């Protein structure tokens, strides 16, 4: 059952319980006034307990109605987290098949897709010639795509994780 519906049901039950308690307490006060009972009133304890129960059920109903996340929202967040972990695991497996320089380049491109080759060289601390060889190797393996715009090469991840 949806939390909002459950909150409405609980609020309805608490309203019915309130009406019943009010009717019973009214009848008890009429009976006590007719017989002029001056001793301690056990009905008073009942009324205090019932007020506590009513307040608790109303609070629970309001919480479920307005503040509680629905099960669908929780499941969506769990699925999102699982898919992110799955993508990270796939990327880690991919990196295991590469040499250290290729790992550096792939990690940097993953962090910033569409990075320029010059910036990639600065991030990975690889010389231009070595970076060019690594990029060509990764491009040959169909892991990245090099897009030349003017004099600048932009590097994109080609694989779908």
pLDDT in tens, 66-102: 876 666 788 889 999 999 999 899 999 989 999 999 9
In a domain, 78, yes or no: no
In a domain, 83, yes or no: no
Give how many domains the chain has, as a whole number: 2
Q: How far apart are CA 78 and CA 94, in angstroms?
A: 24
* 108 and 51 in a common domain: no
Mean of per-residue pLDDT scores for the chain: 84
Q: What is the pTM of this model?
A: 0.56
* pLDDT tens digits along 121-160: 999 999 999 999 999 999 999 999 999 899 899 999 987 7
Q: How far apart are CA 24 and CA 36, in angstroms?
A: 18
* 8 and 63 in a common domain: yes
Residues 6+ apart with CB under 8 A from 117: 131, 132, 135, 146, 152, 153, 154, 155
Q: How far apart are CA 156 and CA 154, in angstroms?
A: 7
Range of the domain at 119: 93-157
């Amino acid at each position: 059952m949806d939390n909002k519906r459950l909150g409405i049901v609980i609020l309805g039950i608490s309203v019915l319980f309130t009406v019943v308690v009010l009717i019973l307490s009214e009848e008890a006060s009429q009976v006590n006034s007719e017989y002029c009972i001056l001793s301690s009133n056990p009905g008073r304890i009942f009324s205090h307990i019932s007020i506590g129960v009513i307040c608790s059920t109303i609070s629970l109903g309001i919480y479920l109605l307005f503040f509680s996340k629905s099960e669908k929202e929780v499941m969506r967040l769990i699925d999102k987290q699982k898919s992110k972990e799955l993508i990270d695991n796939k990327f880690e497996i991919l990196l295991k098949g590469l040499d250290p320089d290729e790992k550096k380049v792939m990690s940097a491109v993953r962090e910033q897709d569409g990075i320029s080759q010059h910036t990639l060289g600065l991030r990975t601390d690889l010389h231009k010639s070595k970076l060019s060889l690594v990029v060509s190797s990764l491009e040959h393996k169909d892991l990245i795509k090099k897009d030349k715009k003017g004099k600048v090469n932009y590097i994109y991840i080609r694989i779908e994780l």
